[in-house]
Amino acid sequence: MKLIFLGPPGAGKGTISDLAVVKLGLPHISTGDLFRAAVKNGTPLGLKVKDIMASGGLVPDELTIALVKERLAQKDVAKGWILDGFPRTIPQAEALDKIAAADKAVNFDVADEIVIGRLSGRRVCRSCGKIYHEKNMPPKKAGVCDVDGGELYIRDDDKEAAIKVRLDTYRKQTAPLIEWYGKKGKLLAIDGVGAPAEVLGRFEKAIKK
């Protein structure tokens, strides 16, 4: 099964992907995670995208499509994948159709006020990438990852000015994909409000249908 996760930043795509990969046994491919790894490792790609990401803008289509094409050429994706955070523009969706068309696009619908609360409270483990929320999903010990003891940090793009840019970018460039996949008969709309287990339950029900 080839699935795309759509929705605004903070819709819970990463959290639900982490839970869904365990249930479905599919690799979770997050372009945001791939870009963050490139930045952390100081690769030529990382140097190109660092400032764009910190501002909340989108990395150019050309670079993003090349990254996904390379990732989808690897062996572990033969049975399918969950693409989280890609495509984010119509040209990216058109490119993906040529590489490997998705079976379904799952849209996690969440209102802006909730998204802002989720993003501003989000904390991420610097070493393993596990996601927490300071109020809704806190670690056992403040500032420390439950899994590997890594330091929890606030992503540059989860700071207030960048959140605003990301929501504007989402509305202008990514939200049109909902209609785009709808017209192809591939859209599954999920209410993304609630605890992760609740949203996961709705997602599982929808893909079984």
Q: Which residues form the interface with ligand AMP (CB under 6 A)?
A: 9, 31-32, 35, 52-53, 56-59, 64, 85-88, 92, 157, 166
Nearer to ligand AMP, 37 or 52 (CB): 52
Among 122, 123, 130, 202, the one annotated catalytic: 122
Shortest Cβ distance from residue 209 to ligand AMP (Å)? 27
In the numeric block, which tokens belong to residue 60? Answer: 């150019």
Nearer to ligand AMP, 11 or 26 (CB): 11
Q: CA–CA separation, 147 vs 51, rounded Å? A: 29
88 is known as an active-site residue? yes
* Sequence-ordered alpha helix ranges (H) in the chain: 13-24, 31-40, 44-55, 61-71, 90-100, 112-120, 160-169, 176-183, 196-208
Nearer to ligand AMP, 35 or 203 (CB): 35
122 is known as an active-site residue? yes
Which residue's CB atom is positioned nearest to ligand AMP? Answer: 32
Shortest Cβ distance from residue 145 to ligand AMP (Å)? 18
Among 50, 69, 155, 159, the one annotated catalytic: 155
59: nearest Cα among 47, 71, 43, 42: 47
In the numeric block, which tokens belong to residue 57? Answer: 């803008």
Q: CA–CA separation, 133 vs 125, rounded Å? A: 11
User: What are the residue numbers of the active site?
Assistant: 13, 88, 122, 155, 166
